[in-house]
Amino acid sequence: MGEDVPRGAVFYHGIHRRHEVMIDEPLRQATLRAIEAVREMLGSQRLPAAPNDARCPSCSLLNACLPSVIGEPARVRGLQGALFRPLVLGREAGDADA
């Protein structure tokens, strides 16, 4: 503690690029607020909704987040319904012949 950190870097894994940033007081305060928000989110075990915007194609977490699926609540409900189809005794659900 007590050491000045005038600049830092953000590494974008998806495009393998590093971007240097100057760390001023507003950025330092915004970073501290983000840290606190993440701690609250982890404590509540609730994730924010996926944004599904122009940033997504370059994100290294694209395949884990699946914003095009999760960002559309109606699509999620349809996919969830397709995952679970209960069996009816002696036949599968949806089998019209039984």
* Domain identity same for 72 and 39: no
Rounded alpha-carbon distances, angstroms, from residue 37 to 11, 33, 52, 67, 97: 21, 6, 20, 21, 55
* Domain identity same for 66 and 23: no
Residue 68 lies in a domain: yes
Total domains in the chain come to 2
Tens of pLDDT, residue by residue over 53-62, are 888 888 877 7
CA 62 to chain centre: 8
pLDDT of 48 above 80: no
Contact 23, 5 (CB under 8 A): yes
Residue 19 lies in a domain: yes
| Domain limits for position 80 | 49-85
Angle formed at CA 55 by CA 51 and CA 58, multiple of 5 degrees: 130
* Domain identity same for 44 and 2: yes
pLDDT of 93 above 60: no
